[in-house]
Structure 1
Amino acid sequence: MNLKRKVEIAVISDVHLGTFGCHAKQLLTYLNSIEPKKLILNGDIVDIWQFKKRYFPKSHLSVIKKIMDFAANGTEVIYITGNHDEMLRKFTDTEIGNISIVNKVVLNLDGKKAWFFHGDVFDISIQNAKWLAKLGGWGYDLLILLNRFVNWCLDKLGKERYSLSKKIKNSVKGAVKYINDFEKVATDLAIENGYDYVVCGHIHQPKMLIKENKYGKTMYLNSGDWVENFTALEYQFKRWKIYNYNKDKLSPFFADEDIKEMDVKDLIAAITIVEQPKKKKSN
């Protein structure tokens, strides 16, 4: 019997299926390990901007199939459109079975209001110069390919992998300022509208922190991405956490006040993962 972690809400964003930078196999490992009541796809899942007919590996197709399987098995799938999959915005408010397509969504989570949206609405470079943003995306693809070669060499030498793009972004003052401005605008709007949580993607920076101004406070959450960080957000036992594929290795939640009320079987299912045995290759 294969047990999976039960999660009330799982949030992923910025997968960029159809590009060289997407790490679909790692994402599949994660998705196969959970059993969410709600799966929120917070934008840029399929990269329609940089979609290449000749490049859409089986693992990328498997991610789409897994999402469809979730919906078929009763998981509510909410697809929030982003800038790289903005063509889907023409289908906003469409519902197909357990799958809905929206531009944003507000949920009531245990008496608290959570505001979910991708975040590109704050990005002036995208709004006013899409061709420039697309050009940047192609350069990013080239950087990812270069990074793969560097990491292949590091693996051969037995050394730790290295992210060129993360190093560049973290060292550029303009990029750091942009991220800080993004977080401030999102949280100021959330506080103004009375939201307890504001959940974004877009900037590929996983984060969870409390932001406060003179009008109040809110929790800012960003699901990161599956290009560099391999992160997701999970909501369970009335609390949020950032799941990190490289560090957590599917670590469980711990919440003493909730565990006392749980059935033993539910507890085991919530915190345990039993990996499926690998199939033997046929000769």
Structure 2
Amino acid sequence: MQETGTVRHVRALFISDVHLGMQAIQVEELLKFLAIHEADTIYIVGDLIDGWRLQKEWNWPAEYDALANVLLGKARAGARIVYLAGNHDEFLRDYLGTYFGGVEIVDRMIHITADGKRYLVIHGDQFDVVVANAKWLAHIGDWAYNFALTINAPINWVRRRMGLSYWSLSAWAKQKVKSAVSVMGRFEEALSLEARNSKVEGVICGHIHQAAMHHKFGIHYINSGDWVESCTAIVEGHDGAFELIRWKDISAPPRKRRGLGRLRAS
């Protein structure tokens, strides 16, 4: 397992769903992660900025500027940074094909791995039935998600006092709903079908805040997860293999680690 103080260089890095503007997010953990990860190409797979939340209440603390400076600094140092707009930062879709501070803004991208495989990179909201056809319902879901994050704090304060580990009400609720209506499975299947139609070997996306790597639908489906709660990212090594990094497992003290911090799949 990688030590947290050792800088690691990878070929490509994929992060998504940071949601700058929400109250309860993991920006400080992302800064720690980026401090020891360098990449030739960094893909921001949507929803770095939460425009929905910022429209309702402006919230831009100093660590947000620190994150922007880190990313722009990596661009100045030679990293290619590709920003794929998502539904929460959909205002950026008015600027597709442009550059900001060396950051390229696109809707989708084909990533070619070191061993020549082609992957569609896209946020994924375009294949979410709720977002595409009932945006008002998506906003209600966003409110409920934020509410769950808010009450997570007192719940987990009590759990810490009792010596229990962190528990996510929002993740539990989302998982229960998705299990009932198979939303997640349909999303993954839709993205896999789009990858197949695009004549590529796989798809790398975000949006549903559920990190995963599998071949359930005959396509290599990869989801980079989020930095609201789970703190996950995808990296491609110089051999073309992908890894799903669960940063909380790596960065936690040894006695609190819950097993391997990385899953590997090619």
Q: TM class by shorter-chain length?
A: 0.7 to 0.9
Count of paired positions: 250
What are structure 1's unaligned runs of at least 5 residues?
Answer: 256-283
Q: Secondary structure at the match of 2:75?
A: helix
Secondary structure (helix, strand or coil) at the match of 1:199 reads strand
* Residue aligning to 1:124: 129
Q: 1:207 touches 1:221 (CA, 8 Å); kept in 2?
A: yes
Task: Specify which of 14, 17, 26 is matched with residue 14 of structure 1.
Answer: 17
How well do the aligned residues superpose, as a CA RMSD in angstroms? 2.2
- Once the two structures are superposed, residues 94-113 of structure 1 have per-residue CA deviations (whole angstroms, 9 ceiling, x without a partner) of 02453100000002212111
Match of 1:245 in 2: 247
The reply on whether 1:45 has 2:51 as its aligned counterpart is no
Deviations 1:70-111 (A, max 9, x none): 111111000000000000100000024531000000022121
- Structure 1 residues 252, 190: closer, same or farther in 2, change over 3 A? closer
Return the match for 2:201 from 190, 193, 196.
196
Amino acid at match of 2:214: L
Distance in 2 between residues matched to 1:254 and 1:209, nearest whole Å: 11
Q: Which runs of 5+ in 2 are unaligned?
A: 253-260
The residue number in structure 1 matching 2:231 is 230
The equivalent of 2:95 in structure 1 is: 91
Comparing 53-62 with 71-80, greater Cα deviation is found at 53-62
What is the TM-score normalised by the length of structure 2? 0.87
Aligned identity (percent) is: 34
> 2: distance between equivalents of 1:173 and 1:246?
24
Cα deviation for residue 136 of structure 1 reads 2.0
Question: Structure 1's 176 and 5: CA in aligned 2 closer, same or farther, altered over 3 A?
Answer: farther
Distance 1:254 1:244, change over 3 A: closer
Name the counterpart of 2:104. Answer: 100
Instruction: Pick the aligned partner of 1:77 from 74, 81, 92.
Output: 81
SS at match of 1:77: strand
1:172 CA drift (Å): 2.4
Is the 1:206–1:225 contact (alpha carbons within 8 Å) kept by the matching residues of 2? Answer: yes
Q: Which runs of 4+ in 1 moved over 4 A?
A: 173-176, 250-255
Which residue identity is paired with 1:83?
A: N
**C-alpha distance 150-38 of structure 1, shift in aligned 2 (>3 A):** same
Q: CA deviation at 1:55?
A: 2.0
1:53 to partner: Cα distance? 5.0
Structure number, greater radius of gyration = 1
- Separation in 2, partners of 1:198, 1:179: 15
2: CA distance, partners of 1:133 / 1:254: 33
Give the 3-state SS of the residue equivalent to 2:87 in structure 1. Answer: coil
Q: Does the 8 Å contact 2:21/2:58 carry over to 1?
A: no
Question: Structure 2 counterpart of 1:29, which letter?
Answer: K
Residue 57 (structure 1) aligned with residue 58 (structure 2): no
Aligned partners of 1:44 and 1:151: how far apart in 2?
A: 26
Give the aligned partner of residue 206 of structure 1: 211
Closer, same or farther: CA 162–252 of 1 in aligned 2, 3 Å: closer
